[in-house]
Amino acid sequence: MGNLNQKQYFSKNDQNIGIKPKFEGFLKNGNIDVSLFDYYAEKITDYWFLDCRISLSKSQIRNIYNEVKSIEKIAKNDKDKALIRLKMLKSKIRYNEARDTNKLNDKFGEEIISWINCVTEKEFKKEFDAFCKLFEAVVGFSYKYARK
């Protein structure tokens, strides 16, 4: 599995709002980068809620996460259908960002979409598994900040 190189996750943010953890994909040397699920997940969550002061409700996070879990079930039997549903999740995120009420925060949406873009057909099984686990870790870390 991937190495735990904590320094690789930081880059200067364009808006100088703290330091944003840098996402560089799910795989390192062909293996899932396990540091994504603890170190990176905690740092990106802290960045969103503490540095950027985003406002997300637990139900907003859960809404997207439930869709990911639904796609995960589909992936067990039909990789192509799961990949299509995953790519379509980007439109659901954009829709939720554009709503008049209960809008999804765009920083959160952008990051999730960047993760979706890193799931390829070639490495679907590994990358999608890592995507699901990363999202689960972020859900866990975000509950201490998310509003009810």
pLDDT in tens, 101-117: 778 888 899 999 999 99
* pLDDT tens by residue, 53-73: 888 888 889 999 999 999 999
Domain membership flag for residue 148: no
Amino acid letter, residue 106: D
In a domain, 87, yes or no: yes
10 forms beta bridges with 21
pTM > 0.85: no
Alpha helices in the chain (DSSP H): 39-46, 58-75, 79-98, 106-117, 124-142
Q: Is 49 within a domain?
A: yes
Mean pLDDT of the chain: 86
- What is the C-alpha end-to-end distance of the chain, expressed in Å? 36
* Separation of alpha carbons 66 and 30, rounded Å: 28
CB 105 within 8 A of CB 54: yes
Q: How far apart are CA 98 and CA 51, in angstroms?
A: 23
CB 48 within 8 A of CB 31: no
Determine, yes or no, domain membership for 1.
no
The domain in which residue 132 lies consists of 6-142
Domain count, the chain: 1
